[in-house]
Structure 1
Amino acid sequence: MGAPLPDKWKGFNRGCYDETTDPDEHMDAYTTHMSLYSTDDVVLCRVFLTSLKGGALSWFTKLLPNSIDSVETLVAKFDVQFATSRPHHLTSIALINIRQEKGESLRKFIDRFGKVATSIRNLSPDVAMHHMLTTL
């Protein structure tokens, strides 16, 4: 905790992690923001607590003294602690159950289908089109 802060340090201003959002997204935002100021493990570990609030901050402050020896250790402990906060990732199987409801306009159905389809990582356009045609 005695490590000096980087010159022109303005703090982490991307919103504090509170266990309700994706921990991977928070860690990505944190490391990207911090890389503008420093890549020193000591600084990254020291400043990390400023990116937390609520239960996440409580967890961090209860870590055993000297239990974090590198950013890799910090990330590993953070990943394990907040693994259940990760969002459930959909697969193309989720598209099978989407059906155009009785009385639903084609526009509304396509909008609803599109919202689900865009939330699926690496979804092939061919697979999406196949599912859309079979659900109509």
Structure 2
Amino acid sequence: MTDSKVSNLMEARRRPCARKLISPFTEEVERAPPPKRFTTPSITPFKGDSDPESHLRHFKSTMILYKADGALMCKVFAMTLRGAAQDWFHTLPSGSIGNFKEFALIFTKEYTSYKTVRKHADHLFNLHKKPDESLRDYLRRFKAEKANIIGCNDQVASSAFKKGLPTEHELYRELAITPSQTLAEVFATAERYALWDDDRIAAKKASKPADHPTRQAS
């Protein structure tokens, strides 16, 4: 490299405008100072392989505590990006992001294929107790699925839980006799039956004769 090229490169690095070109943020966002005594919060990084809206919700919830303005939101959010997501951020056109709303929009559009498909309450009617599944395991599995459904109606969940039981099951008959129970009462009743079911399974295992290898005559 010639001396003139080296000089030109060093001069370009000294220019403020050259540094600005590498940032997707507008000059207004770049120049906005952070609040006094601001400490960057600890936020789980986004690497480009998970639900963008979940990351965005978590970020916004955290930043509420700091009463952050748009410029600070932009800068801190960019710091939560890692790996492929950080590489994507640096491919954005210089000066293309002027506020956090714009940043959030292009972020969710870029990673929309990773959005988690929200299940509806009707999904619970697809759950059934398996023949070889204990009542406790079915109860645990049902609760886990319900927890993933936002705003799930308790009455719908109660009906779905009962429908997933075999009609000959003792708990099914109990719930059929008292159909007006709340979901909390249904789960409490199921817990009592699960204890009985656990004892029955344990007793069944204990009653099985131990398998001892047959000693062969020498």
Residues 58 and 100 (structure 1), Cα distance of their counterparts in 2 relative to 1, 3 Å cut: same
**Residue 125 of structure 1: CA displacement?**
0.9
Deviation at 1:39, TM superposition (A): 2.8
Larger radius of gyration, structure 1 or 2? Answer: 2
Matched with 2:118 is 89
Cα distance between partner residues in 2 of 1:61 and 1:92: 40
**Which AA in structure 1 matches 2:61?**
T
Q: Distance in 1 between matches of 2:122 and 2:48?
A: 28
Instruction: Give me the CA root mean square deviation.
Output: 1.8
Aligned counterpart, 2:109: 80
TM-score when scaled to structure 2?
0.57
Deviation at 1:93, TM superposition (A): 2.6
2:95 matched to 1:66?
A: yes
In 2, distance between residues paired with 1:135 and 1:3? 57
d(CA) in 2 for partners of 1:70, 1:29: 19
Counterpart of 1:118 (choices 134, 143, 147) is 147
Report the counterpart of residue 6 of structure 1 in structure 2.
35
How far apart are residue 38 of structure 1 and its match? 4.9
Gaps in structure 1 of 5+ consecutive residues: none
Identity, % of aligned positions: 25
Alpha-carbon deviation of 1:4? 2.3
User: In structure 2, what is the equivalent of residue 20 of structure 1?
Assistant: 49
Give the AA of the match of 2:157: A
Q: Secondary structure at the match of 1:47?
A: helix
Partner residue of 1:48 out of 63, 67, 77? 77
Amino acid at match of 1:8: R
The 3-state SS of whatever aligns with 1:96 is: helix
**1: CA distance, partners of 2:132 / 2:62:** 48
Higher mean C-alpha deviation, range 71-80 or range 89-98: 89-98
Aligned length in residues: 136
The amino acid across from 1:2 in the alignment is R
Unaligned runs of 5+ in 2: 1-29, 166-218
Q: Write the deviation string for residues 63-87 of structure 1: whole angstroms up to 9, x where unpaired.
A: 1001111111111111111112221
2:129 matches 1:129: no
CA shift at 1:46, angstroms?
Answer: 2.6
Distance 1:88 1:48, change over 3 A: same
Q: Output aligned runs, 1:32-47, within 5 Å.
A: 32-47=61-76
Deviation of the 1:31 alpha carbon? 2.8
After TM superposition, the score normalised by the length of structure 1 is 0.87
Query: Is the aligned partner of 1:104 residue 2:125?
Result: no
- Between Structure 1 and Structure 2, which shows a larger proportion of helix residues? 2
CA contact (8 A) 1:92 1:123 kept: yes
